Amino acid sequence: ESKINIGVRSIFCVIKKAANGWWKKLLRGDGKAPHFLKVDWDKWVDEDDDEI
């Protein structure tokens, strides 16, 4: 289930994928990521981790 939390200065989205697996990339193009996209490193899971 996807969730959206709208704060005073930010919007936090949790997006659930339709099928399990790893994304090769987040954006369609090969260009630079937009400045407003940021990674929450506290919730980062590496593909090699067995916890998934």
What type of residue sits at position 46?
D
Looking at the predicted structure, is the pLDDT value of residue 51 above 60? no
Residues 1-41: pLDDT tens digits? 888 999 998 888 888 878 888 777 777 777 787 888 888 88
Looking at the predicted structure, is the pLDDT value of residue 50 above 90? no
Looking at the predicted structure, is the pLDDT value of residue 52 above 60? no
What type of residue sits at position 14?
V
Is the CB of residue 3 less than 8 Å from the CB of residue 15? no
Local structure of residue 32 (DSSP, 8 states): P
Task: Return the SS3 of 6.
Answer: strand
pLDDT of residue 6: 94
Q: How many residues are there in the chain?
A: 52
How far apart are the C-alpha atoms of 4 and 10, rounded to whole Å? 11
